[in-house]
Amino acid sequence: VFGVVLVMDFQKIKTGYLIRLDEGDEVLSSIRDFCAKKKIYSASITGLGAAKSAEIAHYDTKEKKYYTKKLEGMLEIVFLVGNISKLKNQPMAHLHIALGLPDFSTVSGHVMNIVVNPTCEITLLTNNGKIDRKFDEKTGLNLQCFVK
C-alpha cells in the first residue's frame, strides 16, 4: 500500500464494492490505495458526487504531453468513469471525469487530482481480467496489455 490510512466507508457487494469518500479525500489516491489493500488489479469504476478542487487534463497525441487545468470552488461530479489495471505490480486507476460548474457549464478530462467536498459515491466492479500496462513509445502512454 502507498502509506495512506484508509478511512473511507465501503461495503462489499457480490460484484465488487460500494465506496463513499468524504470531504478532503483525494479520489485517485484513495481508489489506488483501496485497490492495493484489497489486491484488486482489474475493475471498472463509476461515480458521482462533488468536489472542492480538481486538476484535469487532456492528452496531446502529437506532443505526447498532458495539458492540465486546475479548478477550485463548488464542483459537481456529474460522472466519474474509469478502470483499474496493473502498472509495475501496483494498481493503477485510469479515470475520466465530467464536472458541473456553478454556471451550469461542464468541463471534462483525465483525472489528475480531485479533492472531495462533501462526498463522492463510487461503484467499483471487480472482474477476473488480467490487465497490465506497458509504456508505448508510439503514443507516449502506458497502454493496456492483456495477460494470457
Helices (H), the chain: 27-38
| Residue 63 one-letter amino acid | E
Which H or E run contains 37? helix 27-38
Read off the pLDDT band of 6 (50, 70, 90): low
Tell me: the pLDDT tens digits for 60-97? 999 999 999 999 999 999 999 999 999 999 999 999 99
Q: Give which of 78, 69, 125 is closest to 105, Cα–Cα.
A: 78
| Residue 68 one-letter amino acid | T
